[in-house]
Amino acid sequence: MKKVAIIGVGHTKFGVLENQDLMDLLCDASLEAINDSNTNDENFDSVYVGSMCPETFNHISGVANALVDRIGLLPAAADHIKNGPASGGSAIKAGFQAIASGINSMVLVVGGEKMTHITTPGLVTSAIATITHPKAERSHGASLPSLAGLLTRVYLEKYDAKLDWLSDISIKNHKNGASNPLAHFQRTIESFMESAIKKGKGSWNNIYEFLNDDKTNPIIADPLRLFHICSISDGAAALVLCNAELAKKYCENPVLITGIGQATDTQIVYERDDLTVLNALRESSNQAYKMAKKTPEDIDVAELHDAFEILEAVESEDIGFFKKGEGVRAAHEGLTEIGGKIPINPSGGLKARGHPLGATGVAQVVELFWQIRGEAGKRQVSDVNTGITCNFGGFGNNILSIIVEGM
């Protein structure tokens, strides 16, 4: 198997980007990555584009064909990779396999989504809910937030954890996002509270009172409130991958993808033996650790998929950092902050960086690239050599884990 290097990255601002459509975002991230990699005049063998719902949200299909045409990469092979909210991770896997197999030597991977222009109430949540089981879940009115609510209640009761501790994960991710100039929300939750006080919306003695107020933080899927759930966003992120033997020709400081794993679990969430266990993550991370010859103790930083803050905690357990039932408590105790035992989501995670579905899996690896190269600015974790991601598709029924290391 050939070694696979990342030699350039691109990452648009995430957020409400009114003046850019999906293709603009994919092109911007792609050209930034190509520029960053010093491969401007090189031929790319393949392009993999991860995007979840361009047909529904943007009324376009064939996004990969459109991209290679628009940015002048013809006649590169082009594929649109779809795996729900893990489309970005799956696009990286496709690019990794193309190079590891020796079939390709230069690949562009880009993930993106454009969602914030949709104004029909319930359309985005309905489109995403099409990944749930049509008869056992969706036809009853289940959506991803509701499945997260069901999981949260089981977890909090079973492990005697507190909802305020889950809020600590949101607080941490917003604090990290405040130092990420590309994040959707570059603000702490304290700053949201201070603005609300200034606007005369109420007064609160502390941040937990603010977060438990139905007016400022409404319940979305009981017990989960607005600040326990990521928002929708626009954005794109890209990687240039190449055969590691060629990497130093373009890049002084390449980063390697040394482990990659993917696994599935039951589509019907209640058919899992334990709702609080993500079997697909246990399996996919084991594959990644085995390929990279690493253990969870070797990981310096992680980018996990906190579409709902309970997921960050459950993932931190099933990826091997904490015992089952201890993830929420660990976050509450500060072990996952920058400077803690295992920093999680220094980028701000999905909660603060934002979650343009197809972009997320790629943006996670871009963050690890910057962390490993010491280029993460105010959110830099010290002494990073190895990082791991979790990109969560379906409701935990299709998960990718990717390990990235300095070369």
Partner 1 sequence: MNSGEKLIAKKCKKCGFIQHKDHIRCLKCKNDTFDMIEAQGGCKLITYTILNVPPLEFRDKPSYALGVVQFENGIKALGQIESQKNLKVGMKLAPVYKKICNNLDGKEINDFVFKSIE
Residues that bind partner 1 (CB under 8 A): 120-123, 125-126, 129, 133, 135-143, 145-146, 149-154, 157, 218-224, 266, 268-271, 275
Which is nearer to partner 1, 129 or 362 (by Cβ)?
Answer: 129
Which is nearer to partner 1, 100 or 144 (by Cβ)?
Answer: 144
Which is nearer to partner 1, 3 or 153 (by Cβ)?
Answer: 153
Q: Find the shortest distance in angstroms from Cβ 129 to partner 1.
A: 5
Which is nearer to partner 1, 222 or 375 (by Cβ)?
Answer: 222
Which is nearer to partner 1, 146 or 180 (by Cβ)?
Answer: 146
Q: Find the shortest distance in angstroms from Cβ 137 to partner 1.
A: 6
Q: Find the shortest distance in angstroms from Cβ 149 to partner 1.
A: 3
Q: Find the shortest distance in angstroms from Cβ 120 to partner 1.
A: 7
Query: Hey, what amino acid is at 44?
Result: F
Residue with tokens 């996004």: 63
> In degrees, to the nearest 5, what angle opens at C-alpha 316 toward C-alphas 360 and 108?
25
String of b and e for 75-84 (b: at least 16 CB within 10 Å)? ebbbbbbbbb
Q: Find the shortest distance in angstroms from Cβ 326 to partner 1.
A: 20
Q: Find the shortest distance in angstroms from Cβ 143 to partner 1.
A: 5
Which is nearer to partner 1, 123 or 197 (by Cβ)?
Answer: 123
Q: Find the shortest distance in angstroms from Cβ 93 to partner 1.
A: 24
CB 102 within 8 A of CB 92: no
Q: Find the shortest distance in angstroms from Cβ 187 to partner 1.
A: 23
Which is nearer to partner 1, 117 or 249 (by Cβ)?
Answer: 117
Which is nearer to partner 1, 209 or 271 (by Cβ)?
Answer: 271
Q: Find the shortest distance in angstroms from Cβ 83 to partner 1.
A: 21
Which is nearer to partner 1, 147 or 399 (by Cβ)?
Answer: 147
